[in-house]
Structure 1
Amino acid sequence: MDFKNLIVFLQDLNKNNNKEWMDAHRKWYHSVRDEFIDWLDVLNGHLLQEYDNYYNTPGRKGINRINNNLLYHPNRPIYKDHFGAGLDKRPNTGDFYIEIGIEESMFAGGLWRPEPKKLSSLRDAIDYNGEELEAILTKPTFKNTFGGLVKDVRLTRPPKGFSEHHPHIHLLKHKTFAVMTKFSNEELFKPNFNEKVFDVYREMLPFRNYLNQAISV
């Protein structure tokens, strides 16, 4: 994967974020996009072979559209400043997300502000077996990789039905259960970058499994 070409494309697109520029450079866009899809296919094939419960997600199925959703976010530019994709993308679960951006990139996974039914299921799981999630989040290698849960909206009071004195109240107040790790794009250009992808996937997997099992019950 020629990540340098991908970054240059995104830089130029960011300076000329309009349909006219995209139409004039659509051949370049399709070339970069197709190569990104091929790279995703390589990752997908490796993970499919390595993990029994991995959900087969070919690159064309995992890649996100480069167009922003202007219906809900009319003030955003027409096009995104990154290529994004989800792997291990089982329907109605949290996937393994990869984003390659102009200045930095990231891996992420989990559930971002899940709907009330899923959030309730997550809280029930934490109430029943929060020790397992605590052990995942406090594992030294996990903390070194992700730091902790993404900082997002949290309740100021306990959710309905739970006491302020619950042993896992700090987790129960969360409305987003996701982790991420950002990295410099210099990492993209290293020959062993795919190994970094697999290492992060492996470290995140118990966290994602916990969440996905909770919302599938």
Structure 2
Amino acid sequence: MIQTQTLTFLKELVDNNDRDWFQANKARYDVARENVIAFTTEIIKGLHNVDPAVNPDLDPKKCVMRIYRDIRFSKNKLPYKNNFGVSFPTQGSKNGGVEYYMHIQPGSKSFIAGGYWMPEAEHLKAIRQEIDYNADDLKKIIDDKEFVKLFGEYRKQEQLKTTPKGYEADNENIDLIKLKSFIAWHPLTDKELTSKGAAEEILRVIAKLYPMNVFLRNALA
């Protein structure tokens, strides 16, 4: 589980996002990061049983993203992220892209997600084609009552304003074909993250994301 002091560190970082404060609190950051790594390790242990395409030998340290922001081309010059991001990549898709992602940010801004965010052009084309050919398979997943309860309306993600080349506006699945990303996410409260059953709850949610990720991986196979 995530320790309360990990969330406290992130809360204080929001109000003190500068290098002097961070260096003075580097030891606290190291403890927080080790907590996230340990939690990631716990999830990885059960993740392969939920989705066999996840390598059970994933290095948890490599799954946890850097807290340092790349500010070279950003107007936002704050040097540190105010969260811990954890990526759980899956095998079986060309050049990756389909994954599970955990976001740890205090104030009930944490979440667990799955899918493919902003696919590159070639992958986007392949996913759209799969939807056009096998939309019923995807709709069976995303229109399931429990899926909607956990993740909301899948079709409400950002869409293209125009119809993609090669498709007609009256295509019965154009709302899915026009999507820019193919993701679903479920919010996690601070209380849920800091409870003893946090890893089990996250794995339960991932199990509901699994069929969607299989559909996307099949599109890229």
What's the TM-score, normalizing by structure 1? 0.92
Alignment deviations for residues 94-141 of structure 1 (CA, whole Å, 9 cap, x no partner): 211001102121111212221111110011101111110111110111
For the residue of structure 2 that corresponds to 1:44, the secondary structure is helix
In 2, distance between residues paired with 1:135 and 1:188?
Answer: 30
How do residues 170-209 of structure 1 correspond to structure 2 at under 5 angstroms? 170-209=175-214
Which position in structure 1 is the counterpart of 2:160?
155
For the residue of structure 2 that corresponds to 1:84, the secondary structure is strand
Which position in structure 1 is the counterpart of 2:86?
85
For the residue of structure 2 that corresponds to 1:103, the secondary structure is coil
Q: Does 1:5 align with 2:5?
A: yes
User: Which amino acid in 2 is paired with 1:115?
Assistant: E
Q: Moved runs in structure 1, 4+ residues, more than 6 A?
A: none
Q: How many residues align?
A: 216
Q: Does structure 2 retain, via aligned residues, the 8 Å contact 1:150–1:176? A: no
In 2, distance between residues paired with 1:150 and 1:168?
Answer: 10
Q: Does structure 2 retain, via aligned residues, the 8 Å contact 1:150–1:178? A: no
Which position in structure 2 is the counterpart of 1:15?
15
Alignment deviations for residues 58-96 of structure 1 (CA, whole Å, 9 cap, x no partner): 211211111122123231521111111012444512211
How do residues 1-217 of structure 1 correspond to structure 2 at under 5 angstroms? 1-56=1-56, 57-90=58-91, 92-104=96-108, 105-149=110-154, 151-215=156-220, 217=221
Q: What is the identity percentage for the equivalent residue pairs of Structure 1 and Structure 2?
A: 26
What's the TM-score, normalizing by structure 2? 0.90
Q: Does structure 2 retain, via aligned residues, the 8 Å contact 1:121–1:214? A: yes
Structure 2: runs of 5 or more not aligned = none
For the residue of structure 1 that corresponds to 2:179, the secondary structure is coil
In 1, distance between residues paired with 2:44 and 2:17?
Answer: 31
Indicate how the Cα distance of structure 1 residues 69 and 89 shifts in structure 2: closer, same or farther if over 3 A, else same: farther
Structure 1: runs of 5 or more not aligned = none
Give 1:211 deviation, angstroms. Answer: 1.0
Give 1:154 deviation, angstroms. Answer: 1.4
Indicate how the Cα distance of structure 1 residues 51 and 89 shifts in structure 2: closer, same or farther if over 3 A, else same: closer
- Aligned-residue CA RMSD (Å): 1.7
User: Which amino acid in 1 is paired with 2:80?
Assistant: Y
Higher relative contact order (CA 8 A, sep 6+): 2
Alignment deviations for residues 164-208 of structure 1 (CA, whole Å, 9 cap, x no partner): 221211101111111111132121232222221011110001111
User: Which amino acid in 1 is paired with 2:111?
Assistant: M
In 2, distance between residues paired with 1:51 and 1:183?
Answer: 21
